[in-house]
Structures are given as C-alpha cells and as structure tokens.
Amino acid sequence: MIVTILLTTGSVIIGVLGLMHLLYTFRSNKFEPRDPDLGRRLREISPVLTAETTMWKAWIGFNASHSLGAILFAVFYGYLALFRLNFLLSSPFLVTLSLITLGSYVLLAKVYWFKIPLAGITISTVLFLAGYLLAFM
C-alpha cells in the first residue's frame, strides 16, 4: 500500500506541474518576455529551420508539448501505480524508464529552469525511488 501511495503521489506532483505549465502557456502571460519589444520580434521572426512558423509560435508549441509530456507521464505511471502495480514492478523497462525520465527532468530543471519545478520534480523522483526501494526489499 505504501508503494502505491509513494508512486501515485510522485505521479500527481508531475501531473500538477504539467497541468499548471499548460494553463500558464495558454491562459496567462507568464511566458511572455519582460521586454515588450522582444515579444513583438519573437512574433515576427522565423527560425532558420523553416519560415512556416515564428519563434513565438514555436515557443508556445514547445511549452504545450512539454506540458503534455509531463501530464502523460503522470497519467501513465499513476494508473500503473493504482491499478497495475504488479505489472509495473515486474517490468525493469518501465521502472528504469520512469527513473531516467525523472532524472532527465531534474537535470533540465537544474540547468535550464528555476527552483519551483526543480523542487517538485526532485520530490517526485525521491518518492519514486523510495517506492521502488520499498517494493524490491
């Protein structure tokens, strides 16, 4: 039971962070640059890759897809923790994948993001690690 609680709580944290990020992407100005001139330029300039989009549209798309990835992780591992725990724990691939994903998010948060997502993702990672350690002892 405690393993389920730890893994589910870790999943919920990631899901909440992903959902907040998605809401901030489409329902707030939190990802707007502080410099209004830069915001205008981002809406006008295309990346070298293609002229079919702007840096601003790419920025919004990257933020939205990042959010959806976190939400998918949370739903997938939360479901497994709640309803298919034995399946999850019997799959070295899924256990390893969750830890690699969370570890990657911790590294990205430490290098590129800021303290709130770093704290949430670190807590989630610790909960997953604790759940797996308890399950395999």
| Tens of pLDDT, residues 76-125 | 999 999 999 999 999 999 999 999 999 999 999 999 999 999 999 999 99
Predicted local distance difference test score (pLDDT) of residue 25: 97
CB atoms within 10 A of CB 116: 11
What's the pLDDT tens digit per position in 23-44?
999 999 999 999 999 999 999 9
Predicted local distance difference test score (pLDDT) of residue 48: 95
The answer to whether 132 and 94 are in contact (CB under 8 A) is no
List Cβ neighbours of 10 (8 Å cut-off, separation of 6 or more).
77, 102, 123, 124, 125, 126, 127, 128, 131
Question: What is the pLDDT averaged over residues 52-60?
Answer: 96
| Domain coordinates in residue numbering, the chain | 2-136
